[in-house]
Amino acid sequence: MKLYRFITGPDDSQFCHRVTAALNKGWQLHGTPAYTFNAATGTLHCGQAVMKEVEGVDYTPEIRLGEY
């Protein structure tokens, strides 16, 4: 089964650590990062899609993607 996640958050070290943790669990980057600026808070937000192939498991909507 193929899994897809889109990790989002403020452009800070915590976001980078979340993406790094996913990569170290076997997720692969998918596409380029996305950025948007929140003018109300003055914060840059980013997102990164990641994908992972998992064998021997069937997809169900109840799957908690972060556990893989």
Count of domains observed in the chain: 1
Phi, psi (rounded to 5 degrees) for 62? -80, -10
Mean pLDDT of 36-43: 95
Q: Is residue 39 part of a domain?
A: yes
Q: Is residue 28 part of a domain?
A: yes
Q: Is residue 65 part of a domain?
A: no
Q: Is residue 66 part of a domain?
A: no
**pLDDT per residue as tens digits for the range 43-52:** 999 999 999 9
**Prediction pTM value:** 0.86
Identify the helix (H) or strand (E) that includes residue 60.
Answer: none
Q: Is residue 68 part of a domain?
A: no
Contact 5, 49 (CB under 8 A): yes
The rounded distance, in Å, linking the Cα atoms of 11 and 30 is 18
Q: Is residue 60 part of a domain?
A: no
**Which residues, at least 6 apart from 68, have a Cβ–Cβ distance to it below 8 Å?**
3, 25, 26, 27, 52, 54
